[in-house]
Amino acid sequence: MLAVLKESAQPMSAQEISARISKEGGGAWLSTVYRILELFVEKKLAIKTSIMNSETAVYELNREHHRHYAVCIGCHKMIPMENCPMESFIPRIKDKDFQVIGHNLEVYGYCKDCAAKK
């Protein structure tokens, strides 16, 4: 499974990872794939991202930097952003002792293929 994540340029769902393993001649129950992915996340080997307020999540190899994606609401394609829009953002938090340790940014829209179909 780690090799599948290493080879993928895009985040993958557990179902996609399971299908790729099966296609390459391996086999694993989907529940096992989920358990291993959660272990990878716990050990910081992988990053888990939820998609558009759904129960679907995608996983990618933790390459020691986080990425953000624009997600097409038509086909669910994930397009990587070239930068982190939060780099220059300074949050105003009433609790001055609050320590920010991370963030999650969701950007939604239509890819050019789905926009052309509208």
Q: Which residue in the block uniquely carries the two structure tokens 């994606």?
A: 69
Report the pLDDT value the prediction gives residue 85, as an integer from 0 to 100. Answer: 81
Report the pLDDT value the prediction gives residue 77, as an integer from 0 to 100. Answer: 87
Give Cα separations from 57 to 7, 23, 50, 91, 98 (angstroms). Answer: 18, 21, 4, 27, 28
* Confidence grade of residue 110 (pLDDT, cut at 50, 70, 90): very high
* pLDDT one-digit tens code per residue, 64-73: 777 888 989 9
Mean pLDDT of all residues in 49-62 = 84
* Confidence grade of residue 34 (pLDDT, cut at 50, 70, 90): very high
> 3-class DSSP state for residue 70?
strand
- In order of their start, the domains of the chain are 1-64 (1.10.10.10), 65-118 (3.30.1490.190)
Tokens coding 14: 């557990």
| pLDDT at position 24 over 80 | yes
